[in-house]
Amino acid sequence: MIGQIAFFIVAGLAVGAAGRQFLRIRRNINLGQDEPITGDTSQRWRNVLLVAFGQQKMFKRWIPAVLHFFIYAAFLLTQVELVEIFIDGLLGYHRFFLPFLGGFYTFLISFIEVLSVLALIATIAFLARRNVLRIPRFHKPEMKGWPFQDANWILVLEIFLIFFIFLMNSTDMAAHDNAYGFAISQFLSPLWAGTAPETLHFLERVGWWGHIMVVFAFLNYLPYSKHLHIIFAFPNTYFAKLTPRGEMENMPAIMNEVKSMMGLGEAPADGGDDELPDFGANDVFSLSWKNLLDAYSCTECGRCTAVCPANLTGKKLSPRKIVMDIRDRATEIGSKLDSGDPQWAKDASQPLSATNFDDGKSLFDYVAAEELHACTTCNACVEACPVLINPLDPILKMRRYEILTLSQGPSDWLPMFNSIENGGAAWAMSTDRDQWAQEARQ
């Protein structure tokens, strides 16, 4: 009974603490503008099944894909044993599913053990790829410090999970004369030959508690880690745009204005006297909630940056960094909102809130103009992402804000904009743009 009470308290504290962090992330995502979700629902579920569950886009690179699949499959199936651990912890039953499943239970746990061994091999391989082979995309400037350490910590936690589950199963088998016959533990249980029953029971409990405590630690670590994608990959693939990847969002107000300037449409009915709104985005508040969901779904795998032609030619742009910057900025704003500090309020006489927030910063404090200007809008990063993140969308929104709202931009772009605005043509000409047509009619 004492063990059950202890488990209930520990589980309640761990799940409650994690729940609060996930609610904060949900709040941060909702800081963005509304974005309507349209399109074929069946296609969205197909994306979830193929891309999120099926890891479809991972298999463009077979070696990491297979290694990742070992860890992913082990993670999914281990939940069966985790459910049993919860039942044991709450109700005091041991091997709760065994009487109901019989031989299938032995097969199921054996299968989980085989997958756990494969996951261990994959974990060691991933550690080697990052720290020994030093794959270039894991060592870009944005991966210095915490992002690089984060990946290593998760892999280390994976090793602890596997160690504790085999400690639990092998000592349990040794205490029951190898009666269970689990595929891997049957070869480990002889290591405990001659061990006193009390010691075996103690070690089995160490494995049991060790495994569940690592699970609780992992659950509370997720909100701070790139491995949040194991949860957010599913909604992110569901809500991903279904339009062709090369299709960019249009801005009717700008389109109609340009058409009018170039003689391709009627002038705005209001005569253009109204104050123009802000175009594009300069902070998370003017991005969409889907852009922020993208940011929190990022796996930091770097496949987008690895195929970016701007990055490959030595330019500063890294699509992965842009997405990470958006997530960091949203997290920063969320932390300041949680603080309730009136110094971040636009109006100090009113309570701090998302609509009454101003810390004097924006995404342009994270993302340099040089990065935005380097983008060729080729959509290579969009195509490469294994969880259907669209790094190009926020890049375009920030670039539109810089050019249309701030009237800034690269010096070699501005003459073209001025020519379009003043003469209706991309090149500065001394004659009217349609003079040739007028002469042809004479």
Residues whose CB falls within 8 Å of the CB of residue 341, separated by 6 or more in sequence, listed in order: 352
pLDDT: which is higher, 411 or 218:
218
Give the number of other Cβ atoms within 10 Å of residue 392's Cβ: 22
Q: What does the CA dihedral 382, 384, 389, 394 come to, rounded to 10 degrees?
A: -40
Answer with the residue of higher pLDDT: 2 or 72: 72
Amino acid at 207: G
Q: What is the mean pLDDT of the chain?
A: 89
The CATH number that domain 252-268+276-423 falls under is 1.10.1060
Phi, psi dihedral angles at 356 (to 5 degrees): -125, 60
Decide if 247 contacts 255 (C-beta within 8 A): no
> What is the model's pLDDT at position 78?
86
Phi, psi of 9 (to 5 degrees): -65, -50
Closest CA to 337 of 7, 128, 31: 31
Helix residue ranges per DSSP H, 262-308: 289-297, 303-307
Report how far residue 381's alpha carbon sits from residue 401's, in angstroms, rounded to the nearest whole number: 21
Q: pLDDT tens for residues 282-296?
A: 999 999 999 999 999
pLDDT at 270: 57
Nearest Cα neighbor of 209 from 392, 436, 28, 4 is 4
Cα–Cα distance between 279 and 321 in angstroms, integer? Answer: 23
Relative orientation angle of helices 229-238 and 289-297, to the nearest 10 degrees? 140
Give 44-84 pLDDT, tens digit per residue.
Answer: 999 999 999 998 998 888 899 999 999 998 888 888 888 88
* DSSP calls for 143-169: GTTHHHHHHHHHHHHHHHHHHHHHHHH
The answer to whether residues 374 and 316 touch, using CB atoms and an 8 Å cutoff, is yes
The pLDDT of residue 268:
59
Helices 289-297, 319-339: axis angle to 10 degrees equals 110
Amino acid at 273: D
Token duo for residue 286? 């003017």
Residues in the chain: 442
In this prediction, residue 274 carries a pLDDT of: 58
Domain ranges in the chain are 2-30+61-238, 252-268+276-423
- pLDDT band per the 50, 70, 90 thresholds, residue 261: low
Q: Are 429 and 416 in contact (CB under 8 A)?
A: no
Three-state DSSP state, 227: helix
Query: What is the sign, positive or negative, of the torsion defined by CA atoms of 265, 269, 272, 278?
Result: negative
Q: Is the pLDDT of residue 385 over 60?
A: yes
3-state secondary structure of 356: strand
pLDDT band at 179 (very low <50, low <70, confident <90, very high): confident
Residue 427, pLDDT score: 76
Which residue shows structure tokens 């701007």?
A: 310
CB atoms within 10 A of CB 170: 26
Cα 282 to Cα 368: distance, rounded to the nearest angstrom: 12
